Amino acid sequence: MKKSQISEMPQYYDRYINLIPDIELTDALDQSMKDLKLLDKNRLEKLNDKRYAPGKWSVKDIFQHLIDTERIFNYRILLFAREDETAAPGFDQDTYVIKATAERRTVSDLINELETVRAATKSLFKSFDTEILLRKGKSWEYESSVLALGFTILGHQSHHLNVIKEKYFPLCAEVK
């Protein structure tokens, strides 16, 4: 199913969903994997734990955040797909980043883990038919469909990769 087939655009997540073109979710998942494989890991490694401003995350923190968020969203997706009416709780992304200690890892390791998580996400979505993709549930404070959460994961990645390009890659010139 395509992004345009999301019956109701979920509040808050629409800012991520709208970053993805109106293509089939399976094609968008494939493109997201290609985007990860095309990342310049050497350039990202040179940034190490550098931040573009005080209080901002490092690129390692960003990749760990993407991994954690995708896992949490996959739990929500599974709840909705199986019509479990349990309200999926929110999570404190800043606490997760602090407790994850991503600075102990390499960028390459984090990207490899994100690719593994994405492959699992792709397998999960492959198991869904149209009826399941349209099922809804409450995610944190907002109602969303399985399909919308799939596009949210991909838009979330796109958002953060854009931040890395715009805010972090200019720092590479400062890194010796």
Question: What confidence score (pLDDT) does residue 11 get?
Answer: 86
DSSP 86: P
Question: What confidence score (pLDDT) does residue 144 get?
Answer: 93
Question: What confidence score (pLDDT) does residue 93 get?
Answer: 95
On average, the pLDDT of the chain sits at 94
As a whole number of angstroms, the distance between CA 161 and CA 167 comes to 10
Question: What confidence score (pLDDT) does residue 174 get?
Answer: 60
CB-CB contact of 88 with 136 (8 Å): no
Q: Is it the case that residue 5 has pLDDT exceeding 80?
A: yes
Sign of CA dihedral 138, 142, 147, 151: negative
How confident is the model over 148-163, as a mean pLDDT? Answer: 98
Q: Is it the case that residue 175 has pLDDT exceeding 70?
A: no
How confident is the model over 38-67, as a mean pLDDT? Answer: 94
As a whole number of angstroms, the distance between CA 125 and CA 132 comes to 9
Q: Is it the case that residue 176 has pLDDT exceeding 60?
A: no
Q: Is it the case that residue 60 has pLDDT exceeding 90?
A: yes
